[in-house]
Homo-oligomer: A and B are copies of this chain.
Amino acid sequence: MEPKDRSSQESTVKIKYYTFEEFVEVVRSFHGFEAVGVLIGGFMVDEAYRHLPQGRLFDALCETPKCLPDAVQLLTPCTLGNGWLSVVNVGRYALTLYDKETGVGVRVFIDPAKLEQWPEIRAWFFKLKTKKEQDLARLLYEAKTAGASICGTQLVRVPHRLRDKKHRGQFAICPQCKESYPFDDGLVCLACSGEEMYEQVQPDITGEQVLTEISTSYQVL
């Protein structure tokens, strides 16, 4: 009986429009592996949506660059490249979905006080075990079973300074690197006016040369 029970249980745990198992696959494909941080992040995004009016678009803010941004990018229209997701790294495991006009939104965070009954999640969250010591099966089981019950939610207002998009003005050609850059940045681009971004920047080269040079570097370094 157990497999059947389990499979019927599997189908009831949802992360937005995915079952938990489907989301594990989506995460594996995008993120490279079934990171428990992205899975829990999925429950957090789902939880935020449960508190928000349907049929509206929200911007997203993550308080850490670790894992959470991928849950947001997989489950909301917000991505890094379209500018609707931003990251302010204050090291807290929290995300906010908010209305871009008013800044009002829902913040979801992992509440350490709620982790007592989930020892494997707690050990992962507080880095009490090395990756090798982790019991991945147990961790995934706890994540799936706990869902968003380990989270707290808050109504927040994201201030203007964190939500106003910088609109770049005109573009110019940097006299130094000959590439285009936002003219507001100054008379040369930020890469040329600051510290050098790259060591050993070579002139344009052919593919064969790159291959050779990279192979050489591999041997040398």
Contacts and interface: CB of A to CB of B under 8 A. Distances in A.
Interface in A138-196: 152-159, 162, 168, 170-171, 173-174, 177-182, 185, 189-191, 194, 196
Contacts of A18: none
Given A32-B84, A53-B215, A159-B199, 12 more contacts: A30-B79, A32-B82, A37-B81, A53-B211, A113-B178, A152-B204, A155-B205, A155-B210, A155-B214, A156-B199, A156-B201, A159-B197
Contacts of A103: 199
B71 A202 contact: no
Contacts of A35: 81-82
A73 B198 contact: no
Contacts of A197: 63, 88, 90, 158-159, 162
Nearest to A202: B155
Contacts of A196: 159
Number of copies: 2
Nearest to A216: B104
A107 B170 contact: no
Interface string A63-86: 101111111010001011111100
Given A51-B210, A81-B31, A156 B190 contact: no
Contact of A191 (B92, B111, B182): B92
Contact of A154 (B68, B99, B204): B204
A91 B198 contact: no
Interface in A120-147: 125-127
Interface band, chain A: 35 or more
Nearest to A63: B191
8 closest cross-chain pairs (CB), A and B: A70-B81, A90-B190, A156-B198, A90-B191, A51-B210, A157-B199, A155-B202, A104-B217
B80 A179 contact: no
Contacts of A102: 217-218, 221
A106 interface: yes
Contacts of A101: 221
25 contacts: A32-B82, A50-B207, A51-B207, A52-B211, A53-B215, A68-B81, A69-B79, A73-B73, A90-B181, A90-B194, A90-B197, A92-B177, A92-B179, A96-B198, A99-B218, A101-B221, A107-B198, A111-B179, A125-B171, A126-B170, A154-B202, A155-B213, A156-B201, A157-B200, A159-B198
